Amino acid sequence: MTQNPSAEPLVDVGAGAPREFLAVRDLKVHFPTDDGVVKSVDGLSFTLERGKTLGIVGESGSGKSVTSLSIMGLHRNVGKKLGPRISGEIWLDGQELVSASKDEVRRLRGQKMAMIFQDPLTAMHPFFTVGQQIIEGYRQHHPEAKKQQARSHAIQLLDRVGIPQPDKRVDNYPHEFSGGMRQRAMIAMALANDPSLLIADEPTTALDVTVQAQILDLIRDLQQEFGSSVIIITHDLGVVAELADDILVMYGGKCIEKGSSAELFTRPEHPYTWGLLGSMPRIDRDLQDRLIPVKGSPPSLINLPSGCAFNPRCPYADRTGGRSTAEVPELVEVTPGHLAACHLPAETRQRIFAEEIAPLL
């Protein structure tokens, strides 16, 4: 790891290898379509320290999954006529991934970085046993491993993620598992090579509420045990509330607020974050009270609203003196480590939150 003296790595593109374990700089992922260019991710930057957990939160279409696929190098047809255009930098442990060859990235996949997908039923191959699928991933990066050795490794992993009778279950097919067990198996598969970066894309969305908590607990336990960095991608702030060290809120392909988990929950700066907080299910409140949904629908990524992409849905857009529709707000530091992109003056925001939002949460 080389030293980087730059104090502003988040905006200073092309400044060389960063000191952080994962650093994303000005990532842009654009998909050309017949209707125009879909700017799924448009200038995203963030960093993640080793052993820390980052939550990326946003609606569907906000660009969070596209971001994770970019890190994993899983976009198809990159560089082809109708394939996505990816620019910016993704540094993982001192290696830049956007400009790296396909093969280099492939070798990192499953080994240094692994991913847990949203729906374990469709994400696992129906025709291979759970064991085969774990073993395959393991042996891909440990070609020297004997079959038997790989198999006992798979059984250990299944045991570790809490699957009973793992020596038997290892020979079952995914459809013979329950939903929660499948997700545990999926996690076991991701952990097969002891990855330093684990990306969990909506890991609990497809699961029952009770199972959700178990899975989140498992991820936290494993992170502490393996010391991996974790990115949890979700539309539900509640999922990352207790898990994430930092939270990044995305809207319309851009980061609109990020900061430590504690900051974001106690002093959220962006009206959109307020909406997310308001719509977060909380057990200690009555149903009617707790949901303040964000009105309207996500913006078109081809023709983003001018100015602040959130302005059509923002209840406070009229308080910016027209800047909402005129200029794109910069992501600026409000307090150290806490950044937000909003035209509302900081004091106005804090007043609105304190007076209008906080009482409802």
* Strand arrangement, sheet containing 332-335: 113-116, 197-201, 229-234, 53-57, 246-251, 254-260, 338-340, 332-335
What is the residue-wise DSSP string for 71-100? HHT--SSTTSTTSPEEEEEEEETTEESSSS
Distances (CA, A) of 316 to 62, 261, 274, 308: 21, 24, 12, 12
Decide: is 106 part of the binding site for another protein (CB under 8 A).
yes
Tokens of 109: 């996949």
The residue (of 141 and 319) whose beta carbon lies closer to another protein is 141
> What track of x and - describes contact with another protein for positions 45 through 64 (by CB under 8 A)?
--------------------
Burial classification of residue 82, based on how many CB atoms lie within 10 Å of its CB (0-12 exposed, 13-18 middle, 19 or more buried):
exposed
Ramachandran quadrant class, 295 (left: phi over 0; alpha: psi -120 to 50; beta: rest): beta
What's the min distance (Å) between Cβ of 179 and another protein?
7
Listed in sequence order, the DSSP H helices in 227-285 are 237-241, 261-266, 271-278
Instruction: Select 60 or 303, whichever has its Cβ closest to another protein.
Output: 60
**List 2, 8, 82, 321, residue binding another protein (CB under 8 A):** 82
What is the footprint of another protein within residues 191-220 (CB under 8 A)? Answer: 192
In angstroms, rounded to a whole number, what is the distance separating the alpha carbons of residues 49 and 337? Answer: 14
115 is an interface residue for another protein by CB under 8 A: yes
Q: How far is the CB of 357 from another protein (least distance, A)?
A: 37
Q: Which is nearest to 255 in space by CA: 78, 87, 55? A: 55
Q: Which is nearer to another protein, 115 or 294 (CB)?
A: 115
141 lies in the site for another protein, by CB under 8 A = yes
Helical (H) or strand (E) element with 250: strand 246-251
Determine if 122 is a binding residue for another protein (CB under 8 A). yes
By beta-carbon proximity to another protein, the closer residue of 28 and 109 is 109
230-14-76 Cα angle (round to 5): 55
Pick 160 or 169: Cβ nearer another protein: 169
Rounded-to-5 percentages of helix, strand, coil across the chain? 35, 20, 40
Question: Among the candidate windows 112-120, 259-267, 274-282, 285-293, which touches another protein by CB under 8 A?
Answer: 112-120
Q: Closer to another protein at the Cβ: 106 or 295?
A: 106
d(CA 63, CA 285): 31
Identify the residue among 19, 30, 85, 107 touching another protein (CB under 8 A).
107
Binding flag, residue 353, another protein (CB under 8 A): no
Q: Is 136 in the site for another protein (CB under 8 A)?
A: yes
- β-partners of residue 198 are 114, 230
Under the binding rule (CB under 8 A), the answer on residue 124 touching another protein is: yes
Binder of another protein out of 114, 207, 255, 317 (CB under 8 A) = 114
Q: Of 31-39, 118-126, 270-278, 308-316, which segment contacts another protein by CB under 8 A?
A: 118-126
Footprint on residues 153-182 left by another protein (CB under 8 A)? 164-165, 168-169, 171-173, 175-179, 181-182
Q: At its nearest, how many Å lie between another protein and the CB of residue 165?
A: 6
Question: By the criterion CB under 8 A, which residues form the site for another protein?
Answer: 72, 74, 82, 106-111, 114-115, 117, 119, 121-129, 133, 136-137, 140-141, 164-165, 168-169, 171-173, 175-179, 181-182, 189, 192
